[in-house]
């Protein structure tokens, strides 16, 4: 999930980060940790001598086209010093070398999650009723009632990620239903888009809202024909009064939750994660928290982050420079936002959303985005610009062109985050500029086939493939709509690397565009997990090197485009997505 796609959660995160106990906890004890801009050196290691650890006894996948497999690998300090045949690596086996026998198991590079947000741990104690975890309405109700049963009388019960548009048999809950779910506790449930929420009668009473309370500017406490509250809250201003009344986690709790998040990521194979919004919750205090938790030498993975562009003056005032941090936690980029989300219809499109007179909106003008990129590029920062809609992608590419045309530097490997509605001509422009797309596949998998058109996945039929240049584009149309309407959904499915799921029907598999480079994706239980490989000798996520490869899905069947050689992956290898939210 991306933060810009959920303004409701963003409001709660900022509210939590502004609490006094959070700021006090992260104050003097750690303030000095994040002011320094010097880059700490990597762990010391001898230049020669025996290896500290040798892995052997199983297939080793190198992700190197010239030598895709190896028999053994040697490590000295924190560096891989040799990869090759077992007999060659044996020469590095010393008296103190630890030899790990893989016993036939596959050793492969760790996964890199290129887009996540640690601040989502704020919602760790909220009930998750997303369509991914609760696919039908009966399960949603059961989960909510179980959460209420665990709460003490009078405590707030909060739920998140509800989506009536793609949850089977779901409907918009009434105030009576909400009161039945939680008769003795104030209850608040937010939809996945962040624009809509629901509250029961005790919640309205707790915040002092009645049928006579006027609506906030630009928002609504929805009422029925008789003027009675329905329990539905529309837009952020209507939700804020509830959010301010709720308890929020302390900084100590946030530190513990962040540590737990890092451990969960490592448990599913992540060796690096990339946070695309450091500073969103509490500005400089976010850096202090991550210094204390992620920058610890005992961390099981490396943590990289992009600082939010809206605090650029503060970062510069504090002397923060690219690479600030240590080998375990380092900031290396600046994050900006061009638009919102497609499922909330705030992603900025070239054409109106189907059935509406709106095409979303930009968060910033072309001049403003260009200035962020110019300032960051001049400072040596990698830039990631959030852009979901095709018109937002157009503007973002224009902004990059304005800056990179005069001052090219492809080594910074600038990115466009999500690129949900991406067209072939945009891919060509991005390739020319050296921009990397960082795809958010979950949005395509769960919302692309119905959100904008007002129908569910069952309302669409496949139309086959249409050739565009050197790629096939899979087309779908809504049942009963004119055939020409298919053009609006061309970007829903492009042939390159298929993102398969056991939950997806044979004709309901999403596909991803990958015009250059390499991006590996493995699907499990309906979710896609992605990672990118950076250049040799670099720990920065970004534009990958140019080696061909394919993939296997979890059933072991090969799935690769024509002309791409599949990797041979052991059936025993556990290929799972990162559990960190925020793809």
Burial of 327 (0-12, 13-18, 19+ CB in 10 A): middle
269 closest CA partner among 568, 24, 529, 450? 529
Report field, pTM of the whole predicted structure over 0.75: no
Task: Measure CA 531 to chain center.
Answer: 11
**pLDDT for the residue numbered 9:** 60
Burial of 143 (0-12, 13-18, 19+ CB in 10 A): middle
**pLDDT for the residue numbered 280:** 86
> CATH number of the domain at 125-245, please?
3.10.310.70
CA distances from residue 438 to 241, 272, 529, 582 in whole angstroms, order as listed: 35, 16, 12, 12
Structure-block tokens of residue 495: 């042939």
Gap between the Cα atoms of 71 and 478, Å rounded? 52
- CATH 3.40.50.300 assigned to domain 53-109? The reply is no
The residue with tokens 């009344």 is 245
236 closest CA partner among 13, 46, 548? 13
> What residues contact 133, with CB distance under 8 A and at least 6 apart?
161
**Total Cβ atoms within 10 A of residue 367:** 9
Query: Half-sphere exposure (CA, 13 Å, Cβ side) for 247?
Result: 12
Q: Which regions of the chain are under pLDDT 70?
A: 1-47, 442, 444-583
Answer for the pair 567, 552: CB distance below 8 angstroms, yes or no.
yes
Sequence ranges of the chain with CATH classification 2.30.40.10: 53-109
Strands annotated E in 263-361 = 270-278, 302-308, 329-337
Sequence ranges of the chain with CATH classification 3.10.310.70: 125-245
Task: Measure CA 410 to chain center.
Answer: 24
Query: Half-sphere exposure (CA, 13 Å, Cβ side) for 459?
Result: 15
Strands annotated E in 51-125 = 53-61, 69-76, 79-84, 98-101, 111-116
Q: Given the DSSP bridges, would you call strands 551-552 and 527-531 parallel, antiparallel or unpaired?
A: unpaired
3-state DSSP call for residue 220? strand
Beta bridge partners of 111: 270
Answer for the pair 207, 245: CB distance below 8 angstroms, yes or no.
yes
Q: Phi then psi for 206, rounded to 5 degrees?
A: -65, -30
**pLDDT for the residue numbered 503:** 28
Sequence-ordered alpha helix ranges (H) in 66-186 = 86-89, 137-150, 175-181
H or E segment at 473? strand 471-478
**pLDDT for the residue numbered 235:** 79
Gap between the Cα atoms of 572 and 563, Å rounded? 26
* 3-class SS string, 192-210: CCCCEEEECHHHHHHHCCC
Strands annotated E in 338-453 = 382-387, 415-418, 436-439
Answer for the pair 307, 315: CB distance below 8 angstroms, yes or no.
yes
| Integer Rg of the chain from CA | 25
Structure-block tokens of residue 19: 């609490």
**Total Cβ atoms within 10 A of residue 555:** 9
Strands annotated E in 226-269 = 229-234
Structure-block tokens of residue 387: 């852009």
Answer for the pair 341, 443: CB distance below 8 angstroms, yes or no.
yes
């Amino acid at each position: 999930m991306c933060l810009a796609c959920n303004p409701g959660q963003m409001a709660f995160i900022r509210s939590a980060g502004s609490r006094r106990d959070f700021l006090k906890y992260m104050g003097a004890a750690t303030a000095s940790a994040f002011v320094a801009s010097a880059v700490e050196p990597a762990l010391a290691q001898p230049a020669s001598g025996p290896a500290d650890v040798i892995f052997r006894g199983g297939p080793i996948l190198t992700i190197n086209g010239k030598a895709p497999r190896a028999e053994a690998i040697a490590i000295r300090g924190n560096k891989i010093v040799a990869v090759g045949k077992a007999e060659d690596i044996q020469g590095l086996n010393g008296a103190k070398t630890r030899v790990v026998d893989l016993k036939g198991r596959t050793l492969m590079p760790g996964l890199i999650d290129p887009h996540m947000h640690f601040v989502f741990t704020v919602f760790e104690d909220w009930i998750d009723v997303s369509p991914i975890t609760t696919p039908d309405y009966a399960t949603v109700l059961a989960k909510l009632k179980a959460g209420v049963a665990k709460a003490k009388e009078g405590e707030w019960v909060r739920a998140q990620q509800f989506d009536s548009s793609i949850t089977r048999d779901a409907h918009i809950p009434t105030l009576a239903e909400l009161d039945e779910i939680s008769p003795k506790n104030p209850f608040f449930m937010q939809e996945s888009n962040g624009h809509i929420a629901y509250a029961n009668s005790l919640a309205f009473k707790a915040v002092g809202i009645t049928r006579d309370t006027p609506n906030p500017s630009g928002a609504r406490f929805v009422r029925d024909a008789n003027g009675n509250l329905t329990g539905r809250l529309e837009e952020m201003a209507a939700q804020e009064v509830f959010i301010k009344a709720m308890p929020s986690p302390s900084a100590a709790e946030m530190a513990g939750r962040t540590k737990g998040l890092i451990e969960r990521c490592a448990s599913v194979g992540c060796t690096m994660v990339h946070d695309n919004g450091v500073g969103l919750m509490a500005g400089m205090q976010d850096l202090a928290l991550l210094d204390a938790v992620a920058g610890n030498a005992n961390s099981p993975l490396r943590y990289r982050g992009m600082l939010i562009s809206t605090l650029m003056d503060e970062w510069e005032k504090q002397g923060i420079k690219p690479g600030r941090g240590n080998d375990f936690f380092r900031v290396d980029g600046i994050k900006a936002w061009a638009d919102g989300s497609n499922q909330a219809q705030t992603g900025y499109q070239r054409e109106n959303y189907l059935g509406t007179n709106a095409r979303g909106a930009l968060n910033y003008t072309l001049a403003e985005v260009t200035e962020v990129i110019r300032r960051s590029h001049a400072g040596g920062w990698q830039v990631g610009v959030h852009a979901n809609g095709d018109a937002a992608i157009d503007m973002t590419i224009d902004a990059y062109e304005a800056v990179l045309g005069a001052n090219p530097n492809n080594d910074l490997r600038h990115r466009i985050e999500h690129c949900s509605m991406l067209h072939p001509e945009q891919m060509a422009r991005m390739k020319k500029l050296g921009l990397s797309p960082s795809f958010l596949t979950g949005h395509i998998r769960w919302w692309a086939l119905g959100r904008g058109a007002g129908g569910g996945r069952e309302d669409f039929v496949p139309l086959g493939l249409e050739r565009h240049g050197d790629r096939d584009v899979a087309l779908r149309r809504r049942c009963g709509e004119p055939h020409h309407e298919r053009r609006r959904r061309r970007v829903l499915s492009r042939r390159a690397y298929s993102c398969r799921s056991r939950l997806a029907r044979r004709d309901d598999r999403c596909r991803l565009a990958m015009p250059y480079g390499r991006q590996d994706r493995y699907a499990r239980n309906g979710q896609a997990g992605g990672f990118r490989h950076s250049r040799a000798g670099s720990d920065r996520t970004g534009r990958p090197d140019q080696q061909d490869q394919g993939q296997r899905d979890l059933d072991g069947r090969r799935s690769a485009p024509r002309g791409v050689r599949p990797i041979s992956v052991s059936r025993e290898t556990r290929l799972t997505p990162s559990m960190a939210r925020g793809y």
